[in-house]
Amino acid sequence: MKEDLSNFRKVYKKSQINFNGLKDPFVLFEQWFKIAKNDKLIEEVNAMVLSTIGNDEFPKGRVVLLKKIYLNGFVFFSNYNSEKGISINKNNKVSLLFFWPSQERQIIIKGIVSKTSSSFSDEYFSKRPFKSQVSAFLSNQSEIIDSYSKLKKDMDIFLKENKNKKIKRPKNWGGYIVKPFEFEFWQGRPDRLHQRVLFSLLKSKKWKINILSP
Ligand SMILES: Cc1cc2nc3c(=O)[nH]c(=O)nc-3n(C[C@H](O)[C@H](O)[C@H](O)COP(=O)(O)O)c2cc1C
């Protein structure tokens, strides 16, 4: 395979960061998120890349969906026995990345991840569509399977046998909450003079703000 993308170039000029008055990264996140939510060019505004360090010591990123922001934390749901789950068990330092091309914006968060309480996970699980509950129950996420058709068949059999039954949240499925200690906001600007602002959480719980070179 061969590909030359050296002529792919975009001029970024959509917006700019007003560095005056920055205080709290959650406030800036909320502002940017609100704009992104209303941007029709963004299909899944809550899609974010979760990066973990694996037991093989390699980083791995994959998309998960942000489902809630509360207690100054970012919540997503997954299988606790998946590759990411196993990585998190060993190393709770993770990063989240949002990229909204039409806004020419990127946000990178570093934080500490932990499981949400089981009651919180139960509540969210109970609100999922029935078939999503069943697939969470049937899928041993990240494990090698014999075939996709076998999985489909298992799903069909399960659905037939469990019509209208209430599905309990599997113990190996639930929420994670990422508590940020660093936010980096990137705004594309003309001539590659992009704007970057880094918020770092100090021991005093105040946020230190630094402007970074593009
Ligand atoms: C748009 C999109 C949304 C996704 N949302 C989730 C999610 O919320 N939770 C999840 O566990 N996997 C989600 N996935 C699948 C993950 O990217 C990944 O394939 C899966 O979690 C297994 O990752 P792992 O083997 O590294 O643990 C999503 C994938 C895409 C492309």
Predicted pLDDT at 166: 87
Predicted pLDDT at 61: 98
* SS3 assignment, position 52: strand
Predicted pLDDT at 190: 96
Pick 25-128+172-212's CATH classification: 3.90.550.10, 2.30.110.10, 3.40.50.300, 2.60.40.10.
2.30.110.10
Predicted pLDDT at 163: 85
Report pLDDT digits (tens) over 105-136.
999 999 999 999 999 999 999 999 999 999 99
Closest residue by Cα to residue 71 from 207, 204, 202, 177: 177
Report the mean per-residue pLDDT for the chain. Answer: 96
DSSP β-bridge partners for residue 106: 99, 186
Closest residue by Cα to residue 98 from 5, 163, 35: 35
Predicted pLDDT at 164: 79
Report pLDDT digits (tens) over 15-32.
999 999 899 999 999 999
Q: What separation in Å is there between the alpha carbon of 50 and the centre of ligand 1?
A: 9
* SS3 assignment, position 48: strand
Report pLDDT digits (tens) over 48-94.
999 999 999 999 999 999 999 999 999 999 999 999 999 999 999 99
Domain boundaries, the chain: 25-128+172-212
* SS3 assignment, position 72: coil
Distance CA 49, CA 65 (A): 9
Distance of CA 21 to the CA centre of its chain: 27
Q: What separation in Å is there between the alpha carbon of 82 and the centre of ligand 1?
A: 10
pTM score, whole prediction: 0.96
Alpha helices per DSSP H over 38-109 = 83-90
Greatest distance between any 2 Cα atoms in the chain: 61
Ligand 1 in contact with 53 (CB < 6 A)?
Answer: no
Predicted pLDDT at 110: 98
List the residue whose alpha carbon is closest to atom 14 of ligand 1: 64
Ligand 1 in contact with 179 (CB < 6 A)?
Answer: no
Ligand 1 in contact with 62 (CB < 6 A)?
Answer: yes
Report pLDDT digits (tens) over 190-213.
999 999 999 999 999 999 999 999
